[in-house]
Copies of this chain bind each other. A is one copy, B any other.
């Protein structure tokens, strides 16, 4: 009886969210977690995913190198290799994300929960840093993130800032926006500067019109959030930029993560801080 009770108690006390990156990936791999990855494995870096045929990979890698703020590369595979050992033990990119988007000529061909039937030997995997890491650092500093308060998706905007082109890849910078009081905005610059591999410092603040945003209440992606009178909008380079740039090229074949269903890595957010 005592043993049974203890077992039940342990089971009830056991956290429902896996505490590490590898545990999260294993949960996802066996089909036990199908939704968004936000909140999974708190403290571990998550990444955007882009998988391209080898013939496009070199130009895309160069595009990322030229545009590190929207496209901070945190991992690249060899052609045909589904592993990214620098980002995770036993990581298999074909099975470790909850859902994918398979694209043909710029349109969605499939939204599978694994890539086993889509995998090809010429595919190159790109993992790109995402804002979850710096958002965690902001929250830990006591800064309110409005889209968290509103329980919605961060608002994102196409800007008139052009990325630096490479091969066929070119297009406008996409930014995410978080409204803040000025003192929090200054603190947010300091905090996010520490994380260059997850978009780093803001690219703009105040004056949305200066970067071509005509109506701050109508984002191009995500949801609008209220901006109070004593707040300014603060803009970060956004991981939607590389996706938007890839889609403009309409590759005959490519794969991305499904929105919100990111790659969970074994690297801790704090490891990505440069100081």
Contact B202 A230 (CB under 8 A): no
The minimal Cβ–Cβ distance linking A187 to chain B, given in whole angstroms, is: 8
Which residues on B sit within 8 Å (CB–CB) of A203?
183, 186
- Whether, in the assembled complex, A33 has its beta carbon less than 8 Å from a beta carbon of chain B, the answer is no
The minimal Cβ–Cβ distance linking A230 to chain B, given in whole angstroms, is: 5
Question: Among the listed B186, B201, B230, which residue makes an inter-chain contact with A201, where contact means beta carbons less than 8 Å apart?
Answer: B186
Contact A206 B206 (CB under 8 A): yes
Which residues on B sit within 8 Å (CB–CB) of A23?
none
Q: Decide: A205 near B230, CB < 8 A? Known: A190-B193, A193-B190, A275-B275.
A: no
Which residues on B sit within 8 Å (CB–CB) of A186?
189, 201-205
Which residues on B sit within 8 Å (CB–CB) of A230?
207, 210
- Whether, in the assembled complex, A232 has its beta carbon less than 8 Å from a beta carbon of chain B, the answer is yes
- Contact residues, A188-220 vs B (CB, 8 A): 189-190, 193, 201-207, 210
Binding site for B on A (CB under 8 A): 181-183, 185-186, 189-190, 193, 201-207, 210, 230, 232, 275
5 contacts between A and B (CB under 8 A): A181-B210, A182-B204, A183-B204, A189-B201, A207-B230
Instruction: Give the top 7 A-B pairs by smallest Cβ distance, nearest first.
Output: A189-B189, A206-B206, A182-B204, A206-B232, A182-B205, A210-B230, A190-B193
